Amino acid sequence: MNIILLSGGSGKRLWPLSNDIRSKQFIKLFKNESGKYESMLQRVYRQITSVDKDAKVTIATSKTQVSAIHNQLGDNVSVCVEPMRRDTFPAIVLASAYLHDELEVDTEESVIVCPVDPYVDNSYYESVARLESLTESSNITLMGIEPTYPSEKYGYIIPESKSEVSRVSEFKEKPDKITAEKYLNQGAVWNAGVFAFKLGYLLNKGHELIEFTDYRDLYSRYSTCPKISFDYAVVEKEPSISVLRYKGQWKDVGTWNMMADVMADNVKGKALLDEKTENTNVVNELGIPILVMGTKDMIIAASGDGILVSDKERSGYMKPYVEQISTDIKVAEKSWGTYHVLDAGPGYMTVKAILKAGSRMSYHSHEFRDESWTVLAGHGKTVIDGMEQIVQQGDVVTMAAGCKHTILAETEMTLLETQIGEIEKKDKIKYKLDNNTEEWTGE
CATH number at residue 392: 2.60.120.10
Asked if 238 and 284 sit in the same domain, the reply is: no
Region of 304 (left: φ > 0; alpha: ψ -120 to 50; beta: rest) is alpha
At 326 the pLDDT is 73
How high is the pLDDT of residue 10? 62
Let me know if residue 322 belongs to a domain.
no
CA-nearest of 146, 149, 22 to 157 is 146
Domain presence at residue 329: no
Both 90 and 183 in one domain: the answer is yes
Separation in Å, CA 151 to CA 146, 171, 176, 432: 11, 15, 8, 53
Q: Are residues 160 and 233 in the same domain?
A: yes
Q: Give a yes or no: residue 105 inside a domain.
A: yes
User: Residue 195 forms beta bridges with which residues?
Assistant: 113, 142
Q: What CATH number does residue 75 fall under?
A: 3.90.550.10
Q: Look up the pTM and report it.
A: 0.85
Q: Quick check: is 52 in a domain?
A: yes
Query: What does the pLDDT read at residue 152?
Result: 85
- CA–CA separation, 409 and 359 (whole Å): 6
Instruction: Give DSSP secondary structure letters for 345-398.
Output: ETTEEEEEEEEPTT-B--EEEESSEEEEEEEEE--EEEEETTEEEEE-TT-EEE
Total number of domains in the chain: 3
- pLDDT given for residue 427 in this prediction: 85
Residues of the chain with pLDDT under 50: 436-443
Return the pLDDT at 440: 38
Phi, psi of 319 (to 5 degrees): -55, -50
Of the residues 252, 282, 304, which one is the last residue of a structural domain? 252
Let me know whether 58 and 166 are in one domain: yes
How many Cβ atoms are within 10 Å of 4's Cβ, its own excluded? 25
Residues 236 and 263 in one domain: no
384 and 237 co-located in one domain: no
Residue 158 in domain: yes
Do 415 and 291 fall within a single domain? no
279, 233: one domain: no
247 and 295, same domain (yes or no): no
Looking at the fold, whether 291 and 244 belong to one and the same domain comes out as no
User: Terminal CA-to-CA distance of the chain, rounded, Å?
Assistant: 35
Peptide bond preceding 16 in cis form (omega within 30 of 0): yes
Q: Is position 209 within any domain?
A: yes
Same domain, 74 and 128: yes
Neighbours of 280 (CB within 10 A): 19
- Rg of the chain's alpha carbons, rounded to an integer? 24
Residue 296 belongs to domain spanning:
259-317
Q: In Å, how far are 32, 100, 336 from 77, measured between CA atoms? A: 19, 17, 15
Give yes or no for a contact between 7 and 82, defined as CB atoms under 8 angstroms apart.
no
- d(CA 48, CA 132) in angstroms, rounded, equals 14
The answer to whether residue 366 sits within a structural domain is yes
Whether residue 306 sits in one domain with residue 195: no
User: Is 411 contained in some domain?
Assistant: yes
CA triple 244-246-247, angle to 5 deg? 145
**Which of 200, 220, 252 lies at the terminal end of a domain, its last residue?**
252
pLDDT tens track for 258-310: 899 999 999 999 999 999 999 999 999 998 999 999 999 999 999 988 999 99
Query: Where is the domain boundary, 211, 229, 252?
Result: 252
